[in-house]
Structure 1
Amino acid sequence: MQNFTNGMASDLIPGTWVKSRMSEANGMCVELAALPRGGVAVRNSTDPAGPALIFTAEELNAFLDGAKKGEFDTLGRPN
């Protein structure tokens, strides 16, 4: 069994990478892939062989809950 770690090359992670349909036409988006034993890998779509961040299902669920509640709405916007 493969051990998935933060910073590993994304192209070493098996499976299908998924990105939002809202992604910009030039491909600037975050992509996610489900890991075989649970959890999720996250990568930058403009660097498909670049480093991946690995999150447990619980960590991802906490993030998604915060995003749905608007907790991160001020991030990513010009000041």
Structure 2
Amino acid sequence: MHDFENGIPATQISGVEWTKSTYSNPSGNCVELARLPGGDVALRNSRDPGGPALVYTREEIAMFLHGAKDGEFDGMVGQS
């Protein structure tokens, strides 16, 4: 079993499939997620695939996705 810490360089996470939203724009401004061995989920900036990855538990990602689907974070991308 692997133990990945927050901020680990994404290049040190091997054997996983990074997934990017189909809503990502052509310049790649998006985040990518990968399921890690053991069930945790890593998140990285698609513009910096070798940069740091944040690691969350499956439950943390599930709660975030529920909130996003319910529109709880819509104000984060509202008009400035």
Task: Please indicate the TM-score interval, normalised by the length of the shorter structure.
Answer: over 0.9
- Taking structure 1 as the reference length, the TM-score comes to 0.94
Distance 2:8 2:79 in 1: 31
Distance 2:2 2:73 in 1: 33
The answer (yes or no) to whether the contact 2:42–2:53 under 8 Å persists in 1 is: yes
- Which is richer in strand? 2
Q: How many percent identity over aligned positions?
A: 52
Structure 2: 5+ residue runs without aligned partners?
A: none
Find the residue that maps to 1:74 and give its secondary structure: helix
Find the residue that maps to 1:52 and give its secondary structure: strand
Task: Write out per-residue CA displacement over residues 14-51 of structure 1, whole angstroms, 9 at most, x where no aligned residue.
Answer: 21100001100011110000001001000000000000
Once the two structures are superposed, the pairs formed by residues 15-26 of structure 1 within 5 Å of their partners are 15-26=16-27
2:54 aligns with 53
The answer (yes or no) to whether the contact 2:2–2:38 under 8 Å persists in 1 is: no
Structure 1: 5+ residue runs without aligned partners?
A: none
Question: Which amino acid counterpart does residue 76 of structure 1 have in structure 2?
Answer: V
2:72 aligns with 71
- Taking structure 2 as the reference length, the TM-score comes to 0.93
TM superposition shift of 1:77: 2.6
2:41 aligns with 40
1:10 aligns with 10
